[in-house]
Structure 1
Amino acid sequence: MKLTIIGGSKGTGAKLASLAQAAGHEVTVLSRSGQGPEGVRVLTGDAGDPSAAASAVAGADAVVVTVGGAKGNPRHRAAVTRSVIEAMKKEGVQRLMVQSSLGAGDSGKQMPAPLRVAMKVALAKPLADHNEQEAAVQKSGLAWTIVRPTGLTDKEPAGSWQALQTSQEGTLRGSIPRADLAACMLELLEDPASVGKAVGVSS
């Protein structure tokens, strides 16, 4: 699979890039810093720029957006995601995965009860960005999957995780190592049954 990761210079995106590359996939990373894991193709650019986004997704089988927030731009994730969606349509690329956050959309009920109120207050601005991002994805007409992790850590991976849709019973735990999230994302990316689904993920 030819995989493009938007925002793969660090964090979950970098973990996913390394994992996919080790699994034999051809990985391209687009980042503003021009940095990325060893062994992957790295492009320097801002995915909010239509030409940079088009260059990054051209020829890809799938695109994953893992960008974080940006200082001075409270809707950075949404803006980048819209740019990537338009680039994918232009280049004829259909498969899209976006890293959102638990609490976005209809996923609040999946959060551990003690965290629900606190997280809504503490993460109000990021969640508003993610809500706008998710809305753009769901209206895109692409073959999308939204992944909503709980709190991210750099702990050693356990090699297992919980993945729940909001239609399923149960709540998720409060955190997940980035490496486990990346492994989950790669698994979902390769699963046709995940298309059109939003999945909450925790340890």
Structure 2
Amino acid sequence: MKLAIIGASRGIGRKAVDEALERGHQVRAMSRSQMDLEADGFEWMEGDATNGVDVFNAIDGCDAVILTLGVPRDARVLKKTTLFSDATRVLIEQMEKAGIKRLLTVTGFGAGDSAEKLSTPERLTQKAFLGRAYADKDVQEQLIRDSDLDWTIARPGILSDNRKSGAYKVLTEKAEWRNGLISRADVADFLVTAAEGSEMVGKTPALQR
């Protein structure tokens, strides 16, 4: 496959680049920061996820798009952010122009209806430190659900930089959802695996170790 990965320079996005290349896929990575990587099948493009021209150039000709934007540092506590919803609006429009149907994105446990499964201490902590960001992730999720794309929304729990284990849980049933720990590498493994098939289309799995 040829995968476009937006938000690829760090975190889950960077791990997804490595995972996809390891499996033999072609990767076109878009980020604002230069990526110090040379590999067969890898192409880096500088771009802004809220700029339609940049996004179209990054995704055109790809089979699927993986969106992995991180939380802006200045939005963690006090400042409102619309990065996730703004980027998603642009991406949906540009995917429709490019004729691409498959979208995989990462929000987080506590976004959308998974918020119902947070304990009271978890809810208060998330609101205190990431409330503004998660409010916009809620909007982002609804935009994706309302689109005509073949989407998957991954909701990982608390992220770590541990190595890929391959032993994580993919909880697709609401009754099973819970918060927990998972490595960024395992989230990347899930995203690439889900992109390779259709089993996760239209699902919002919680990802936990």
Give the whole-Å Cα distance in 2 for the aligned partners of 1:89 and 1:172: 34
Q: Assess, with a 3 A threshold, how the Cα gap between structure 1 residues 92 and 77 changes in structure 2: closer, same or farther.
A: same
Give the alignment's TM-score, normalised by structure 2.
Answer: 0.89
* Equivalent in 86, 94, 101 of residue 93 of structure 2: 86
Tell me which residue corresponds to 2:139.
132
Q: What is the identity, as a one-letter code, of the residue corresponding to 2:151? A: W
Q: What is the identity, as a one-letter code, of the residue corresponding to 2:160? A: T
Tell me which residue corresponds to 2:61.
59
- Give the C-alpha shift of residue 114 in structure 1: 4.7
- Give structure 1 regions of 4+ aligned residues with deviation exceeding 3 angstroms: 70-73, 109-114
- Give the C-alpha shift of residue 113 in structure 1: 6.4
State whether residues 66 and 191 of structure 2, in contact with CA within 8 Å, keep that contact through their aligned partners in structure 1. Answer: no
State whether residues 15 and 182 of structure 1, in contact with CA within 8 Å, keep that contact through their aligned partners in structure 2. Answer: yes
- Give the C-alpha shift of residue 46 in structure 1: 0.5
1:197 match: secondary structure: coil
Structure 1: gaps (5+ residues):
none
1:103 match: secondary structure: coil
1:13 aligns with 2:8: no
Tell me which residue corresponds to 1:25.
25
State whether residues 2 and 60 of structure 1, in contact with CA within 8 Å, keep that contact through their aligned partners in structure 2. Answer: yes
Q: What is the identity, as a one-letter code, of the residue corresponding to 2:96? A: K
Q: Assess, with a 3 A threshold, how the Cα gap between structure 1 residues 88 and 171 changes in structure 2: closer, same or farther.
A: closer
2:175 match: secondary structure: coil
- Give the C-alpha shift of residue 19 in structure 1: 0.6
Give the whole-Å Cα distance in 1 for the aligned partners of 2:187 and 2:119: 18
When the two chains are superposed, the root-mean-square deviation of aligned CA atoms in Å is 1.8
Q: Assess, with a 3 A threshold, how the Cα gap between structure 1 residues 22 and 121 changes in structure 2: closer, same or farther.
A: same
* Equivalent in 174, 178, 197 of residue 172 of structure 1: 178
- Give the C-alpha shift of residue 124 in structure 1: 1.2
Tell me which residue corresponds to 2:197.
191
Structure 2: gaps (5+ residues):
none
Give the alignment's TM-score, normalised by structure 1.
Answer: 0.92
Percent identity among equivalent residues?
35
State whether residues 30 and 46 of structure 2, in contact with CA within 8 Å, keep that contact through their aligned partners in structure 1. Answer: yes
* Equivalent in 177, 185, 188 of residue 182 of structure 1: 188
Aligned residues: 202
